[in-house]
A and B are shown apart, each in its own frame.
Chain A
Amino acid sequence: SYELTQPPSVSVSPGQTVSITCSGDKLGDKYACWYQQKPGQSPVLVIYQDTERPSGIPERFSGSNSGNTATLTISGTQAMDEADYYCQAWDSTSVVFGGGTKLTVL
C-alpha cells in the first residue's frame, strides 16, 4: 500500500520560515493537499492541488510538489501556526494521509 512519510516534529522561531516535508514514491506525479489541525479542533485545508490556497488561508502558507517530496512552507511563522500538519494524496483507489508533523513555534 502507498505510504506518505512526514517528520514527527519540526520547530521554528517566530517570524522565521519553516518547511514541512511529505515523502512518497513518485508523489510528484500525484496531487498533494495539506491540513492544519490545532488541539481539540477539526482539520482545516491549507493547501490543495500542490500549490493552491483556499480562500481565507494566509499568503504565508505555500506548497510545492516534485519528485518524491511535497513541501509545505510557512513564511513569517506566527505563534498561531503552532499545530499538527498532515499531507494527503490519492493513490489509485485510496486516500492516503501522512503520519503528521507537530510544528512548534518556540
Chain B
Amino acid sequence: QVTLKESGPLLVKPTETLTLTCTVSGFSLSNAGMGVSWIRQPPGKALDWLAHIFSNDEKSYSTSLKSRLTISKDTSKSQVVLIMTNMDPLDTGTYYCARIIGGQDLFGSNWFRFDPWGQGTLVTVSS
C-alpha cells in the first residue's frame, strides 16, 4: 500500500522560510518514472501545483513561484523536502504531497498523474 505523509510547521510568520517534508512508503523514490509532487490549496480555493521531483532527480517548478521554491529528495530516508522562502499570508493553505507517475507515449507526448495523495497539512502564515 502506497502512502505519503506531510510534516512541518503549522504556523509560520511572514517573510519566514517554510520547510515541509513528505515521507513515503510502499514505493521507492528510485523507482523509474515515479516521484513526488507538492500541491497546495488555499482555503475554499482550487488546487495549485508547486513542484515535483522524479527518481532521476529531474525537477520542475511552478513558473510563478520558481524563485521561492526548492525541492530535493533523500532516497535512503524515503523523504522529499520542499522549501518555500519569503512566506506571505496569501500562502496560507493545505499543502499536499502526492506520488507522481509520468511517462511518454509513442508520439513523444508526456503524461503525468498524481496518485495517491497525502492527507495534507494546513499551513497558516500570520504574525
Q: What is A's interface to B at a CB cutoff of 8 Å? A: 1, 29-31, 33, 35, 42-45, 48-49, 54, 86, 88, 90, 93-100
Contacts and interface: CB of A to CB of B under 8 A. Distances in A.
Contacts of A99: 46
Interface of B: 37, 39, 46-49, 52, 60, 62-64, 96, 98, 109-120
B118 A42 contact: yes
Given A42-B116, A96-B49, 12 more contacts: A1-B64, A30-B109, A31-B112, A42-B118, A43-B117, A48-B113, A49-B113, A93-B60, A95-B49, A95-B52, A98-B46, A100-B46
Given A93-B60, A94-B62, A95-B37, A49 B111 contact: yes
B120 A42 contact: yes
Contacts of B96: 42-43
Contacts of A45: 113-116
A97 B48 contact: yes
Contact of B113 (A33, A98, A100): A33
15 contacts: A1-B63, A31-B109, A42-B118, A42-B119, A43-B47, A44-B116, A45-B114, A49-B111, A49-B113, A88-B47, A94-B60, A94-B63, A97-B48, A97-B49, A100-B47
The 8 residue pairs across chains A and B that have the minimum distance between CB atoms = A31-B111, A95-B49, A48-B113, A45-B115, A42-B117, A97-B47, A100-B46, A99-B46
A100 B60 CA distance: 23
